[in-house]
Amino acid sequence: MKSAKLILDNQTIELPIIEGSEGERAVDITKLRNNTGFITLDPGYGNTGSCESSITFIDGEKGILRYRGIPIEQLAENATFSEVMYLLIKGALPTKNEITSFNNELTYHTMIHEDMKRFFDGYPMNAHPMGVLASMVAALSTFYPENSEGDVDNNIIRLLAKMKTLAAFAYKKSVGQPFMYPKNKYSFEENFLQMMFAVPSEPYEIDPVVTDALRLLLILHADHEQNCSTSTVRMVGSSLANLFISVSAGISALWGPLHGGANQRVIEMLSKIEKDGGNYKKYVNMAKDKNSGFKLMGFGHRVYKNFDPRAKILKSASDRLLNKLGISDPMLSIAKELEEIALNDDFFVERKLYPNVDFYSGIIYRALGIPTRMYTVMFALGRLPGWIAQWMELRQAKGARISRPRQIYTGSTLRGFVPISER
């Protein structure tokens, strides 16, 4: 086995080198503190591998993303979302029989308990749907406790089937329309669309172009290895917390504007630029000025340093979709012009800042009629199978321990308590 040498306080320590199946290398420091008293410091974890995982592979330099070894481009072109869910969670593509029974299970468990429906009455009308989704998913744990081994498998299916119902109900609540119940005749994507957009008084027709665009978006968001929300799901799950509460924590982490919340902010930014007469330079200059506190939303990524393969797929998909639906959206031209200007600017070139998945996804959500405040909920729906697969992998990992980082303390050294009368 290869090893690395580290010299600390004149003592040389050998540390094993771990190599992944795609040649990624890591210095294994699991025994570092016990053997030397030192820890490593890596705020933001840019250099820290928190686990070994066989789910998703990313090569940020080459713009590669694969689920269980299969390139994202092939899945985006050919797979159904339920095949991708199966692939991520079970580890292999399903056979015909396997996908039929998986789809049946996903259909059978779509309803939520009527008592849960009443929870929606308690949220204010303008509640952000991400807050509603996180709390409703947490609430599932009170209806479906995890008492024995089999409960986990059932709860995985329940969560996959019910989360879209909760998401659609959160939207219906926000527009004051009656909830539309799931219907068994529909596929995963169709069922979500009818729960979002159908009304009881009118027949609802499913547009296959819209269904396919939704399929693509869900697949592209389905997993992304150890990002902020997934690491949160693993962190919470490492205490042996149940699936629902761990995923609810992931939804909360995703909401932040530096993570999944960026998709809502991108469209808000593009609308602002439009209202400002298309003054791109002003926004690019603001993003370059560290004192402005402004960032180009939908740009930059911790891992991708060349291009984000998801953004590449979405850029051409948004062109195709708008054409097919006969929509002319000024946001698409603004996005393209902004991208062009930023990609030719030294600040962005030097820092390797490229459009990420959130840059073009909003244009597609808009074309599908999904309101801006629902964009991050859409991201969460897509990411759900990834969170579940990662949570399962952690549960099944040999020797998994509770996640418990250390710190370098920089506060006061020992001092005595001073009674209030003497302060």
- Residue 356 sits in the site that holds ligand CMC (CB under 6 A): yes
CA distance 368 to 322: 10
To ligand CMC, the closest distance from the beta carbon of 295 in angstroms equals 4
CA atoms of 340 and 165, how far apart (whole Å): 39
With residue 5 as reference, give the H or E element that holds it: strand 3-8
For residue 178, give the nearest of 195, 192, 161 by alpha carbon.
195
The single residue among 255, 358, 377, 387 that binds ligand CMC, judged by CB under 6 A, is 358
Q: Within 10 Å of residue 135's Cβ, how many Cβ atoms?
A: 18
Residue 226 Cβ vs ligand CMC, minimum distance, rounded to whole Å: 11
Name the DSSP class of 299. B
Quick one: 225 or 319, whose CB is closer to ligand CMC? 225
Indicate which residues carry an active-site annotation.
301, 358
Residue 394 Cβ, how far from ligand CMC at the closest point, in Å?
A: 19
CA 381 to chain centre: 8
Residue whose CB is less far from ligand CMC, 180 or 370: 370
Q: Going residue by residue from 272 to 291, which x/- string records binding to ligand CMC, judged by CB under 6 A?
A: ---------------x----
Q: Which of 162, 226, 225, 217 is nearest to 195 (CA)?
A: 162
Location of structure tokens 């801006």: 372
Whether residue 134 contacts residue 252, with contact meaning beta carbons closer than 8 Å, is answered with yes
**Does the footprint of ligand CMC cover residue 378 (CB under 6 A)?**
no
Choose between 63 and 298: whose C-beta lies nearer to ligand CMC.
298
Look-up of token digits 């840059």: 359
Q: Which of 75, 116, 195, 297 is in the footprint of ligand CMC by CB under 6 A?
A: 297
Give me the residue label for tokens 């030294």.
346
Q: How far apart are CA 68 and CA 87, in angstroms?
A: 7
CA distance linking residue 74 with residue 361, whole number of Å: 19
CB atoms within 10 A of CB 221: 24
Positions 244 through 273 that interact with ligand CMC (CB under 6 A): 258-260, 262
CB of 341 to ligand CMC, least distance (A): 13
Q: Hey, is 302 helix, strand or coil?
A: coil
Binding test (CB under 6 A) with ligand CMC, winner from 132, 214, 357, 388:
357
Stretch that binds ligand CMC, among 110-118, 299-307, 323-331, 388-396 (CB under 6 A): 299-307
Q: Minimum Å distance from CB 225 to ligand CMC?
A: 10
How much helix, strand and coil, in percent to the nearest 5, is found in the chain?
Answer: 55, 5, 35
The reply to whether 299 sits near ligand CMC by the rule CB under 6 A is: yes
In angstroms, what is the minimal distance from the CB of 105 to ligand CMC? 29
Is residue 351 involved in binding ligand CMC (CB under 6 A)? yes
How far apart CA 224 and CA 213 sit, in angstroms, is 20
Cβ closer to ligand CMC: 102 or 379? 379
Nearest residue to ligand CMC, using CB? 300
Q: Rounded to whole angstroms, what are the CA distances from 21 to 4, 54, 57? A: 19, 9, 10
Residue range at the interface with ligand CMC (CB under 6 A); choices 22-30, 124-132, 188-196, 352-360 = 352-360
Window 178 to 237, contacts with ligand CMC (CB under 6 A)? 224, 227
With binding defined as CB under 6 A, does residue 295 bind ligand CMC?
yes
Binding residues for ligand CMC (CB under 6 A) = 44, 224, 227, 258-260, 262, 287, 295-302, 351, 353, 356-358
